[in-house]
Amino acid sequence: MAAIGAVGLAAALIAVGSHHEAWFDEAQAWLLARDSTLTELLRERLHYEGSPGLWHAVLWLASHAGYPFAALWLISSAIAVSSAFLILRAAPFPVWLRFGIIGSYFFAYQYSVVARSYALDLLLVPLAACLFPQRATRPLPYAIVLGLLANTNTHSFLVAGTLCAETLLLGLRAGTWRQPAFLSSMVVFALCALSAILQAWPAPDVSFGAAGIHFDRADRLLSEAFVGGVPFGTLDVPVLVQRLATLLILLPSLVLFHRAGTFILVGALILSLMVFSAVQHANLWHSGILFLVWIFGLWISWPTLNAGSRTLRRLVLASVAGLVLLQDVQTAAAWIREVREPYSSGREAAALVRAARERDSAARVAAIGFKAFSIQPWLPRNVFANYVGGASNPAFYLWDRRQRFSPRVELVSFRAALAGGYDLIVLSTDLPPGLDLDAYRAAGSEKGYCVTANIPGHLIWKTDRVEDDGILLFQRCRSAHDADG
C-alpha cells in the first residue's frame, strides 16, 4: 500500500511539476549554490539570506554535479514522495487519513512542486514523529533528525530547538541525562544548532530585517495553515470567520493533546512559530510549518485516541477529515492552476534575453526589481549590466544595503535605466502600491523604448493568485510609430 500510494503521488507530481516555472526564491537558492564554493556558501552567502544551509547544500551538490535547473522541482518532489512512503508505512492513522495527508496542500503542492527548503520539513518532521516514542531509549537517531531539521530553515530551527528542549527535560526528570548515549545526542544536536546559527546569523549590512511586531501576521498564518482559502476562490475571508473556523476545527485535536499529555509540547511549538512570525517578516507559505506541527502532534498523541472515549475519537476523526478534505480540494485547485497558468515569467524572459544577446553579443541588459533575477538560472552568468558593475558573478541577488541596485520596482530606477541607454530592460511587474504599468510604459515611450514582450506570471496560493511575477521587456523602438503606440 505504501509503495502504491507513493508511486501515485509521484505520478501526480510529475504531471503537475513538469508545468512549473521556478520563481525568484527557487532561483535564488539555486544561484547561491551554483555560483559559490561550498565554503563560500556556508560561511558567507547565507548571512545575507537569514537561513541555515541544508537545502542550499543539497542544491550545491546537484548544481555542481551538472543537474539541470529545469528539473529543480524533481528534487523537492522526490523528498515529498519519500515522506509519503514514510507516512503511509509508519503513521498510526487510519488508511484514509494517511492518504488524505499526503494529498494535502503543503505535501502535494506548496512544499513539493514549489522547490524550497520546506520540502525537507515534509520528510524530517514525520521522521521525528516516528522516532519520538524512542527518544529516551534511542536518543541519538532522534537528535540527528532534529539537528538536520534545525539546519533546514529558521522556522524549523525553532521546532527542532523546542523538541530538543523537551527531550532534555525528559532526561533530567528521568535521571537518564548522565548516560553516554543521552549526552552524545545532546552534543550532536548542540553542534548542529550551532552550525545553523553560524550560517544564518544576519550580516551587519544585510538589507532586510525585522518588520516590527505585528500579531496579525501570526494570526493570519494560523488561519492559513488550516482553513485559509474558504470559501474557495478567494483569500478575502473575514478574519473573525477564519479565527472561529480555525478554533472549531482544532478544538477536538487540542482535547486529544491534553489527554495525551502532549498539549504543552504542541502548544510550545505553535507559540514559538507564531511569536517568531509576529516579530519577523512572514509569508503565507510559512503557515505550512504550523500544519506539519499539527500532524506531528496528532502522530505522537494518536495512541491515546485509540484507547480513549468513542465520543472524542469521533470528534477528532470528523474534524481531521474535514480539514484534510479541504486541503485536498485546495491541492486539486492549485494543480489545475499550475497546469493552466504560468507561475513565473523567468524561463520565457530568459529565452528572449538569450536570443537578443545572440543577435548582438554587446547588447547591454538592465534589471528593475529583484524578481527579474528569476531569469538568471537559465543563463550561464549574470547578464545585468546595472548589477555588480556588470560582472559575470554573482548572478544571485545579494541582500546587501551597500550595493546600489534597488530590489524594488521603483520608477526612479527605471528612469535611470532608460537614461543609461541599455539595449534591453527587464522590468518585474510586481509593482509598489499606487503604481501601474502604464506609468512605466509612458516613461519608456518618452525615451524611445517600447514593450517588446509582456510575459505573465503569478504565484499560486491554494485556490487563488497572490503575488505578481510577470516581466516586461523594453527595447529601443524601431520607429516613432512604435513609441507612440
| Pairwise CA distance, residues 286 & 218, whole Å | 10
pTM of the full structure: 0.94
Residue type (1 letter), 157? F
pLDDT tens for each residue of the chain, 485 residues long: 889 999 999 999 999 999 999 999 999 999 999 999 999 999 999 999 999 999 999 999 999 999 999 999 999 999 999 999 999 999 999 999 999 999 999 999 999 999 999 999 999 999 999 999 999 999 999 999 999 999 999 999 999 999 999 999 999 998 888 899 999 999 999 999 999 999 999 999 998 766 677 777 888 888 888 887 654 444 455 667 777 878 888 999 999 999 999 999 999 999 999 999 888 878 899 999 999 999 999 999 999 998 878 999 999 999 999 999 999 999 999 999 999 999 999 999 999 999 999 999 999 999 999 999 999 999 999 999 999 999 999 999 999 988 889 999 999 999 999 999 999 999 999 998 888 999 999 999 999 999 999 999 999 999 999 999 999 999 999 865 555 44
Task: Supply angle C-alpha 278, 296, 136, rounded to 5.
Answer: 110
Helix H or strand E segment including 368: strand 365-368
DSSP state of 284: G
| Pairwise CA distance, residues 21 & 84, whole Å | 24
**Quick one: how far is CA 34 from the chain centroid?**
19
Report yes or no: 104 and 291 within 8 Å, Cβ to Cβ: yes
Q: Specify the pLDDT at position 429.
A: 97
Q: Specify the pLDDT at position 227.
A: 80
| Pairwise CA distance, residues 473 & 352, whole Å | 9
Backbone angles phi, psi at 451, to 5 degrees: -80, 115
Residue type (1 letter), 414? F
Q: Specify the pLDDT at position 245.
A: 78
Domain ranges of the chain: 2-340, 346-484
Exposure class string for 215-240: b at 16+ Cβ within 10 A, else e: eebbbbbbbbbbbbbbeeeebeeeee
3-class SS of residue 261:
coil
The strands making up 449-455's β-sheet, listed across from edge to edge, are 365-368, 424-428, 471-476, 449-455
The three grid cell numbers given for residue 67, joined into one nine-digit string: 543537474
Q: Among the residues of 261-397, which ranges form H helices?
A: 263-279, 287-307, 310-340, 346-359
Backbone angles phi, psi at 306, to 5 degrees: -65, -30
DSSP 190-209: HHHHHHHHHHHSPPTTBS--
3-class SS of residue 211:
coil
Q: Specify the pLDDT at position 244.
A: 81
* Cα–Cα distance list, 51 to 122, 139, 219, 479 (Å): 17, 26, 23, 49
Q: Specify the pLDDT at position 484.
A: 47
DSSP state of 235: S
Q: Which pairs from 398-401 meet CB under 8 Å and 24+ separation?
A: 398/48, 399/48, 399/49, 399/206, 399/207, 399/208, 400/48, 400/203, 400/205, 400/206, 400/207, 401/205, 401/206, 401/207
